[in-house]
Structure 1
């Protein structure tokens, strides 16, 4: 049972960041975005979860490729 809580803690720390970034981008509260994903997942039988994973993957790739540099010397 201890490993279950470790996995749950990992997803709570790293998984909710996707909702936070989407909420910041849209100017909403993160709680509203999280509940929206939960409702979409139940209504569409898993499509919301697949969409969540796709957005997490896309944001991760975008962060790896696009980095803001403050000057020319940061290359």
Structure 2
């Protein structure tokens, strides 16, 4: 069950898992509250989710170190 959950999180940008690790809260409760908030606000938190996913992707690429300038 944990492998399936990890696979789904890694394919869905991992925003809830990252927030859970940073805040010390279970990612399942963050995911559930995100779903409830999305229903009550007619989906506007989805924009926030995509912005956070984009930022995580950019920061992952910025942290990657190259050995020389000529490596592409």
Q: TM-score, with normalisation over the residues of structure 2?
A: 0.69
Gap regions ≥5 residues in structure 2:
1-7
Q: TM-score, with normalisation over the residues of structure 1?
A: 0.67
1:61 and 2:58 equivalent? yes
Q: How far off its partner does 1:58 sit?
A: 0.8
| Deviations 1:10-58, CA, capped at 9 Å, x for gaps | xx34116111111000000010110111011111111111111111111
Higher helix share: 1
Coordinate RMSD, CA, aligned:
2.1
